[in-house]
Amino acid sequence: MNHEIFAAIGEALTKGEEVALVTIVAANGSTPQRIGAKMLVFADGRTVGTIGGGCYEHDALGKAREALRARKAVTVKYDLNDDFVEETGLACGGQMEVFIEPLEAPAALYVFGAGHVGYYLARVASEAGFEVHVVDDRAAFANRERFPFAASVTVDDIPTWLVQAALPPSAYAVVVTRGHRHDLDALAALVPRELRYLGLIGSRAKVARIYDQLLGGRHASLEQLSRVHAPIGLDIGAVTPQEIAVSIAAELVAVRRGKTSAIADASLRWMPKAKAEDQP
């Protein structure tokens, strides 16, 4: 059974899916599985393997999904006594302790724009452990000589490339192109997707203009735009491309480590002119 679970882990991480591994680490009394039994839990509730079913498995599944959302490991103890039986309606006994560990593929960061900010962001993010992919339509900027540390460097029109690109839901995407039109086109292609993180560079005024255009053209909904981090990065007073890259990388790390309290609510960073009732 563990072979099946390890194979499923490898397949999930290759696809960029998030999973949580639930392992029995202590057991006493009447329990249907021994120490070492494992169950793999996907974000959508699918499972591979079992830790015994019945009394505690359903509860452990729910806690595993919570651990995936929080991206934090947790140890859960079950005292399968009469109170637990009465609450669940299932007969069992003994004590059980499980360790729930979220497993994540290397954090894939897609940097759309290979200019000054894109270069420094890709560089610092690579050092921070992100698997960096750079996309730009200018070969003079997007090349291996400038980005030897990137996992991939692609020269292509960004919206065209995104049509055929399958970004996993665990991916991070940063839009730092060379101008308003390119930022607008890239964001329009990215905002409908489920991503771990999507950020847009620019002043509040620029962000508001782009959002108004997307809303007015019905390319995005208010709910979709509320998930975008814009203006991008933590507010550290950054001015130079290097400093801006650090502020963005810091926000990426905060998201990766579940430190959402360090990040302002994205929906409060901008104020669209269009009314909610006018949106698709």
Is a pLDDT exceeding 50 seen at residue 275? Answer: no
Strands 152-155 and 131-136, by their bridges, are parallel
3-state SS, one letter per residue, for the chain:
CHHHHHHHHHHHHHHCCCEEEEEEEEEECCCCCCCCCEEEEECCCCEEECCCCHHHHHHHHHHHHHHHHHCCCEEEEEECCHHHHHHHCCCCCCEEEEEEEEECCCCEEEEECCCHHHHHHHHHHHHCCCEEEEEECCCCCCCCCCCCCCCEEEECCHHHHHHHCCCCCCCEEEECCCCHHHHHHHHHHHCCCCCCEEEECCCHHHHHHHHHHHHHCCCCCHHHHCCCECCCCCCCCCCCHHHHHHHHHHHHHHHHCCCHHHCCCHHHCCCCCCCHHHCC
Q: Which two tokens stand for residue 257?
A: 């480590």
Is a pLDDT exceeding 80 seen at residue 259? Answer: no
**Domains along the sequence of the chain with CATH:** 2-103 (no CATH), 108-278 (3.40.50.720)
Residues 135, 111: Cα–Cα separation, whole Å: 6
| pTM of the predicted model as reported, rounded to 2 decimal places | 0.75
pLDDT score of 191: 94
Q: What is the mean pLDDT of residues 140-158?
A: 97
Strands 172-175 and 197-200, by their bridges, are parallel
Residue 52: pLDDT band with limits 50, 70, 90: confident
Residue pair 268/204 in contact by the 8 Å Cβ criterion: no
pLDDT in tens, 58-114: 889 999 999 988 888 999 998 876 455 555 555 556 788 999 999 987 789 999 999
Residues 205, 273: Cα–Cα separation, whole Å: 11
Question: Of 139-153, 162-176, 211-225, 262-276, which range is least confident?
Answer: 262-276
Most confident range (mean pLDDT) of 7-21, 114-128, 254-268 is 114-128
pLDDT score of 266: 45
Residues 200, 21: Cα–Cα separation, whole Å: 34
